[in-house]
Amino acid sequence: MPELVPPSARYKASFIDAVREAQALGSGLGDTLEFDVAEMEQDFASVLAELRRFEPPAVPPEGFVNSEALWLVQGDTYLGRVSLRHRLNERLRVFGGHIGYEIRPSARQQGYGTLALRLALGRARGLGLERVLVTCDADNLGSRRIIETNGGELEGEFRLDFHPKVIRRYWIAL
């Protein structure tokens, strides 16, 4: 069974492959598309440190909250990742919510996105959260299905002045 684990050097080769896949397709979370693969090959420790920089007990800079990165893996294979924010701030309440996720292109449409969110909800429950906010673009049908399958209750659809697409906000009770 795939599991959620902290980012680690064990998955270096597979993670870098996944970044290549995402960049070739132009589909993934913003930072995935911005990674410099050559730099990652050279200095993976910095990538790991960057991904884990807001984990407690770190004190995030103004405007950020504590969060953790979790990777969905099976064996040595990286399948996708989750970002779990430990609380909301004003910005995340509007857009972004508690949990973001991404599945590598070659592993999509096989249920891993649904599983990644389910496992992340378990972790959020373990942190003591009682409900989580998850947002997605209204036209991201895969993400909508993932959230709805995991019990998301639609708060509504919203237009934001800083985002090009209509978004949906869902709450999931834990």
Ligand X SMILES: CC(C)(COP(=O)(O)OP(=O)(O)OC[C@H]1O[C@@H](n2cnc3c(N)ncnc32)[C@H](O)[C@@H]1OP(=O)(O)O)[C@@H](O)C(=O)NCCC(=O)NCCS
The contact set with ligand X (CB under 6 A) reads 27-29, 100-103, 108-114, 136, 140-143, 145-146, 149
User: For strand 167-173 and strand 99-103, is the pairing parallel, antiparallel, or unpaired?
Assistant: unpaired
Report residue 100 CA to chain centroid gap: 3
C-alpha to C-alpha distance for 151 and 125, rounded to whole angstroms: 14
- CB-based contact 170:154 (threshold 8 Å): yes
- Tokens 């969060």, residue? 67
Q: Residue 56 or 131: which CB sits closer to ligand X?
A: 131
Q: Residue 77 or 140: which CB sits closer to ligand X?
A: 140
φ/ψ region of 132 (left if φ > 0, alpha if ψ in -120 to 50, else beta) reads beta
| Tokens (6 digits) for 77 | 């294979």
Q: Measured from the CB of residue 135, what is the shortest distance to ligand X in angstroms?
A: 7
> Strand, helix or coil at 167?
strand
Closest CA to 133 of 116, 123, 121, 145: 121
Q: Measured from the CB of residue 2, what is the shortest distance to ligand X in angstroms?
A: 11
Q: Measured from the CB of residue 109, what is the shortest distance to ligand X in angstroms?
A: 4
Q: Residue 33 or 45: which CB sits closer to ligand X?
A: 33
Q: Residue 45 or 160: which CB sits closer to ligand X?
A: 160
C-alpha to C-alpha distance for 131 and 99, rounded to whole angstroms: 11
Q: Measured from the CB of residue 26, what is the shortest distance to ligand X in angstroms?
A: 10
Q: Measured from the CB of residue 155, what is the shortest distance to ligand X in angstroms?
A: 15
C-alpha to C-alpha distance for 171 and 162, rounded to whole angstroms: 22
Q: Residue 67 or 114: which CB sits closer to ligand X?
A: 114
